Amino acid sequence: MTENLNPFAIAQAQLDQAAGILQLDPHMHAFLREPMREFHFSIPVRMDDGNVQTFKAFRVQYNDARGPAKGGIRFHPDETIDTVRALAAWMTWKTAVCDVPLGGGKGGVVCNPRNMSPGELERLSRGYMRAVSRFVGLKRDVPAPDVGTNPQIMSWMLDEYEVINGEHDPGVITGKPLMLGGSAGRTPATAMGGMVTIREAAKLLGMDLKGATCAIQGYGNVGSFAHRLAHDLLGLKVVAVSDEFGAIYSKNGLDPTVVSGQMRRTGKVGGTPDSEEISNSQLLEMPVDILIPAAIENQLTGANADRIQARIIAELANGPTTPEADQIFLQKGIYIIPDFLCNAGGVSVSYFEMVQNSYGYYWTEQEVQERLDQKMTTAFHAVHKMAEERGVTTRMAAYLVAVNRVAETVRARGWV
């Protein structure tokens, strides 16, 4: 039977399992299975050649019981509403598992930003904000950068929102540049949070991280920072990394400065000195201590899970592992740090950014990192404790912690 790789179907199936274990009221379960609201937009953009191209766009506010919806905006040619729904659901559980007072949302535009000029990207970014501006705000829904977007795109969106509303309101967007009210430490935050969870998992497993081997799939913002931090903070030997064009390997370890320099010069990791090119599947399946999927969803599936040899899988990507693969990893004894725990560092520091914007008082990078370390460590051990108490996988434990917190809030509000 073919494995169902629809990300929203996977998110719902994971919730269904958690609801059964929690013995959730059927009406509560039904409510939590669906987004509270979603928006579909058509955004016309005048391209550089004078033609007008219309882009499909989405914003999903999955659940805002615990606070304003929070979630990134993706610019990707294969974006779908089901992907956005799934990511908004995972954001709901992510904010709950790391216990910040926010809900879950996500946005997306079907486009290929690599094929667009800066002017076209700016017009698309401003067009997206014009479409969504009535539905976002510091007390409603706060977007952030995600796949295919960056601080510059957030700057254009913030500026458009402030023009529309006629007032300074930096808290409507996080992941902004520092001069526009961004937070110190926000750019590496997702990777930094992941390193905290790897550190704590290694303690539990009795694994010495200094010199331990690591492979990283994906070399965007998250993957590239994961490489640097794994090397500098944890002493890991990163032997393989990949981008959308291919992967590279070195048995002696890859220097993050050298790989990043190659990426800046050529736009890809291939060709890095003292490395050999390998396939993406070879990277995923090589015998390493730690595998970090930091690209996109559905990379570890029933088709390749039996060949994965890592001791720890730290999911910095959203939804990289399918339920069928999860069952195989359980049988193999691989320790999973599930996505919405492992990559919660980004939303944690986004929350810190919102707090700083509200007060107009900004913390040092050291203060941000100390607060992030505390937040991620607490979340990791809450999930591990739940896994031990309930005798479930770490992924299911993360769901149990998060879903229970959201359900309690929904119940207290009297919605269900």
DSSP readout, 315-369?
A: --SSS-B-HHHHHHHHHHTPEEE-HHHHTTHHHHHHHHHHHHHHHT----HHHHH
Interacting residues of 399 by C-beta distance below 8 A, sequence separation 6+: 14, 15, 17, 18, 93
Give the Cα separation of 69 and 95 in Å (integer): 9
Give the Cα separation of 146 and 38 in Å (integer): 18
DSSP readout, 359-413?
A: HT----HHHHHHHHHHHHHHHHHHHHHHHHHHT--HHHHHHHHHHHHHHHHHHHH
Write down the catalytic residue from 94, 106, 237, 375. Answer: 106
Pairing state between β 246-249 and 237-243: antiparallel
Contact 280, 249 (CB under 8 A): no
Give the Cα separation of 230 and 202 in Å (integer): 13
94 in catalytic set: no
Contact 316, 309 (CB under 8 A): no
| Cα distances (Å, whole numbers) of residue 313 to 21, 305, 308, 343, 380 | 24, 12, 10, 12, 14
Containing 214, the helix (H) or strand (E) segment is strand 213-217
| Cα distances (Å, whole numbers) of residue 20 to 24, 86, 192, 403 | 6, 20, 33, 11
181's tokens: 């009210």
Catalytic residues: 106
